[in-house]
Structure 1
Amino acid sequence: MPIDTSKALAAAPLTGDISWTAEDVQLYHLGIGAGVPATDPGELRYTLESRLHVLPSFATVAGSGAPGVIRALSVPGVDVDLARVLHAGQTLTVHRPIPVEGTARTTSRITAVHDKGGAAVLVLRTDAADSGGPLWTDEAHVHVRGEGGFGGARGPASRLAAPTGEPERIVEHATREDQALLYRLSGDHNPLHADPGFARAAGFARPILHGLCTYGMTLKAVVDTLLGGDVTRVRSYRARFAGIVYPGETLRIRMWRAEGGVRVTVSAVERDEAPVLTDTVVHHA
């Protein structure tokens, strides 16, 4: 079997040093649609170096290294075709605000392999710390088609009950036709998001937007509309990638306040509200 569960779980952690600059932060923010309108004071927090704040989801690309999905495929015991791999979900816990410029040590390991029947889901945990201590912890959930049925546990239930009542806020965000080409400059060069031939081989009509791009856009919408633009209020953020986005489509982001956080759903307007992000929660101070 291409995934050797025992070997993957027993593998030594992947460690490395990463660093980033203000320009890396600005590029990431532009890649998730910040800077429109260009002179808006709220947008300048994301684009102008003299006012720069770091949206916590930057952690998923900090250092311009391989994203969690790609790192998971480099773990001993994991030997699968990239065309059968999708990002299924992402969680992020922020231990303190991410500095505009910095250097950190990352440690990544496979913590679980779930058997979903027709697929396997790898859970890759990454911890980042600098000289001041822990910075963030994230988990990438990696869906590998055709690798289930090996007799393993399905894993804990992660579905949440759907939010009830009218959302407090609804935001629509139009993605650019070249959104994926811009976002991939932050380090995720998976050809699924740029190469039409590769996308067709993976079962899609054309290249799709990175799930983590939608993830960042959604967090920005929550911060800007319900958290007063204060990125330091974010404590943790989780989402399940329920569907795809084609660059150029419009995201409809619905938000409900909940105890200690915000519940969110995201859909693609042009495809009859096809679900994009579900089971999504932003916990905040």
Structure 2
Amino acid sequence: MPIDPARALAAEPRSATIHWDHKDIQLYHLGIGAGIPATDPDELRYTLESRLHVLPSFATVAGMGVVGGLSAPGIDVDLAAVLHGGQRIALHRPVPVRGTATSTSRVAAVYDKGKAAVLVLRTAAADDDGPLWTSDAQLFVRGEGGFGGERGPSGRLDVPDRAPDRTVERVIREDQALLYRLSGDWNPLHADPEFAKLAGFERPILHGLCTYGMTLKAVVDTLLGGDVTRVRAYGTRFAGVVFPGETLRIRMWRRDGGIQASVTAVERDDAPVLADTVVEHS
């Protein structure tokens, strides 16, 4: 079969040198909707090189570990059958505006969900001063389950039984996916209508990691005083798709050591988009 779990798990980690500078940071921030209003001092921290700070979710596009992981030994899958199921990053220290790092990736787990396989692709980045971040991407590969492997964890977070501490809405521009993909995720699912139909969607969908970044920015800006350095870890489960042109409703609850969020699509009767979402912070 296209996925050989034993071979994938036994494969040597693969390392590459990655580089980024202010242009990569600014492009990523614009791709997740930063810069509106363009002259807002809070937004200039995301868009103006003289004031720039780095939203930690940038780690998900630095070096594009998710896409590269699909070519690991023991994995040969149809890109149209792959959906991003979940994402978690742990920050060891703030991401610098300019950097060179070694990115090391491996398949950390392969789970059997029956009708699908789940790959956990782990990428760790470190520079001369030590570890920067560790990122876990959970990818569903439809049609590749049933090989008798472990099902893996399935924990779910209950939505708090009280009103959110904050609720914000964020509009997805029609060209949001086209801009976001310039940060390196060239999956045609997010741009090519014909490819999207082959994957079972009526039209291209927004990158899950774009929604992921937009949600973190909303949490940082509204409940963390705009201080990106307070983020320690951030994880979510992708519960549904988003189409460009829709509006995200982001509900946030404070909890011990973190903030829980729930993200829905306003125009589709609050259809779930992100679930089990927690930002751990100092």
Give the TM-score normalised by structure 1: 0.98
Counterparts of 2:171 and 2:113, CA distance in 1 = 34
- Partners of 1:17 and 1:104 within 8 A in 2: yes
Q: CA offsets, 1:104-159, max 9 Å, x none? A: 00100001001111100000000000000000000000100011111111002231
State the partner residue of 1:228: 225
Contact 1:56–1:97 under 8 Å retained in 2? yes
Instruction: Indicate whether 1:101 and 2:98 are aligned.
Output: yes
Question: Residue 212 of structure 1: which of 209, 214, 226 is its match?
Answer: 209
> Hey, what does 1:152 align to over in structure 2?
149
Partner of 1:244: 241
TM normalised by structure 2 equals 0.99
Q: Is the 8 A contact 1:53 1:100 kept in 2?
A: yes
- Which of structure 1's runs of 4+ aligned residues deviate more than 6 A? none
Match in the other structure for 1:129: 126
The answer to whether the 8 A contact 1:54-1:99 is kept is yes
**2:45 matched residue in structure 1:** 45
Give distance in 1, aligned partners of 2:28 and 2:153: 32
Give the Cα separation in 1 of the matches to 2:269 and 2:129.
47
What is the deviation of 1:12? 1.1
How many Å apart are 1:164 and its aligned residue?
A: 2.0
Offset of residue 14 of structure 1:
1.4
Q: Write the letter of the residue equivalent to 1:177.
A: E
Structure 2's unaligned 5+ residue stretches are: none
Please give the alpha-carbon distance, in whole angstroms, between the structure 1 residues aligned to 2:90 and 2:84: 18
| Residue among 65, 69, 73 paired with 1:72 | 69
Question: Does the 8 Å contact 1:180/1:194 carry over to 2?
Answer: yes
How far did 1:162 drift? 2.2
> Which residue does 1:27 correspond to in 2?
27
Deviation at 1:66, TM superposition (A): 3.2
Kept in 1, the 8 Å contact 2:65–2:105? The answer is no
CA RMSD, 1 decimal: 0.7
Aligned length: 282
C-alpha distance after superposition, 1:148-186 (max 9, x if no partner): 111111002231222221000000000100000000000
Alpha-carbon distance in 2 for matches of 1:31, 1:104: 23
Contact 2:65 2:123 in 1 (8 A): no
- Structure 1's unaligned 5+ residue stretches are none
Give % identity.
72
